[in-house]
């Protein structure tokens, strides 16, 4: 192997895949700039995962999406791109200042009429959604300590066949030895929950790339 090849790693391949296959365009560039400008954490999904969400929504034939954890709207816009013109996303964001950034990004991407941002604790918002038309697709990417509660809500607000995707399920492998990291313990507990829930058929996939070693879980509501 020549010298320059040895220095290449997962992040380089990720950049190549993003440039070659994902091509998020100016809307996505705008979101990333807005995150930096607002001093928000750079914890949005990787472009490859964002596009996966779009593809999964399309494969599912989803029209109604529930997202828990909006941040700057990066994943929200990817999901919106996977929906038909009359598609709808309800997205829950704890922090009003993050929601304001997301709202501007979502409008700039052309999805203002498709996305309803609910500000506040998702556990306060979710009960208000009981009785609305069931969601076809749920994306959970918020405070990890509430993953199990969010999964229970996904089942309650979904229907048989609803697809549920949960971000950050590997957490650099710390799920196997959480130690004092409460997030690692909570993520592990939510994987155990998915594996034993009679309401969910689930698996999880490990990922490497620009965000290091992580992964996501995917499930279908029974």
The footprint of ligand DHB (CB under 6 A) covers 43, 141, 167-168
Using CB under 5 A as the binding rule, whether residue 167 contacts Mg ion is answered as yes
By beta-carbon proximity to Mg ion, the closer residue of 63 and 210 is 210
Residue facing ligand DHB at closest CB distance: 43
Binding footprint of Mg ion, residue count (CB under 5 A): 3
Give 134 or 183: the residue with its C-beta nearer to ligand DHB: 183
CA 43 – CA 39 distance, rounded (Å)? 12
Nearest approach, Cβ of residue 86 and ligand DHB (Å): 29
Of the candidates 19, 153, 139, 156, the residue with the CA atom closest to the CA atom of residue 83:
139
**Least gap, CB of 143 to ligand DHB (angstroms):** 9
Q: Which is nearer to ligand DHB, 108 or 143 (CB)?
A: 143
Q: How far apart are CA 217 and CA 210, in angstroms?
A: 19
Closest approach of Cβ 217 to ligand DHB, in Å?
A: 13
Q: How far is the CB of 41 from ligand DHB (least distance, A)?
A: 7
The least CB distance from residue 3 to ligand DHB, in Å, is 31
Which residues on neighbouring strands pair with residue 202, listed in sequence order?
A: 219
Q: Residues 165, 138: contact at Cβ < 8 Å?
A: yes
Q: Per rule CB under 5 A, is residue 214 in the interface with Mg ion?
A: no
Q: Of 136 and 167, which CB lies nearer to Mg ion in the complex structure?
A: 167
Q: Which is nearer to Mg ion, 125 or 168 (CB)?
A: 168
Query: How many whole angstroms separate alpha carbon 44 and alpha carbon 59?
Result: 22
User: How many CA atoms, within 13 angstroms, populate the side-chain half-sphere of residue 156?
Assistant: 13
154 in Cβ contact with 90 (< 8 Å): no
168 makes contact with Mg ion (CB under 5 A): yes
CA 62/CA 54 separation, integer angstroms? 10
Rounded distance between C-alpha atoms, residue 116 and residue 30, angstroms: 20
Residue 19: phi and psi, rounded to 5, are -70, -35
Q: Which does 136 bind (CB under 5 to 8 A by kind): Mg ion, ligand DHB, none?
A: none
Check if the beta carbon of residue 93 is closer than 8 Å to that of residue 118: yes
User: Could you tell me which of 204, 194, 200, 202 has the C-alpha nearest to residue 221?
Assistant: 200
Q: Which of 14, 67, 93, 141 binds Mg ion (CB under 5 A)?
A: 141
Question: Closest distance between Mg ion and the C-beta of residue 26, in Å?
Answer: 23
Return residues touching Mg ion (CB under 5 A): 141, 167-168
């Amino acid at each position: 192997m020549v010298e320059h090849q040895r220095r290449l790693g997962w992040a380089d391949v990720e950049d190549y895949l993003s440039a070659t296959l994902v091509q998020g365009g100016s809307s996505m560039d705008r979101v990333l700039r807005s995150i930096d400008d607002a001093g928000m954490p750079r914890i949005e999904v990787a472009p490859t995962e964002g596009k996966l969400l779009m593809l999964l929504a399309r494969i599912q034939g989803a029209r109604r999406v529930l997202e828990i954890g909006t941040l700057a709207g990066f994943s929200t816009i990817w999901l919106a791109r996977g929906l038909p013109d009359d598609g709808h996303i309800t997205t829950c964001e704890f922090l009003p200042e993050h929601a304001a950034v997301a709202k501007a990004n979502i409008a700039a991407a052309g999805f203002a009429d498709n996305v309803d941002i609910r500000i506040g604790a998702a556990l306060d918002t979710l009960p208000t959604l009981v009785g609305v038309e069931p969601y076809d697709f749920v994306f959970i990417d918020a405070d990890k300590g509430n993953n199990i509660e969010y999964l229970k809500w996904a089942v309650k607000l979904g229907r048989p066949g609803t697809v549920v995707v949960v971000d950050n399920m590997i957490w650099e492998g710390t799920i196997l030895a959480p130690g004092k990291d409460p997030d690692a313990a909570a993520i592990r507990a939510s994987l155990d929950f998915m594996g034993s829930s009679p309401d969910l058929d689930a698996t999880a996939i490990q990922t490497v790339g620009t965000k290091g070693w992580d992964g996501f879980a995917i499930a279908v509501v029974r």
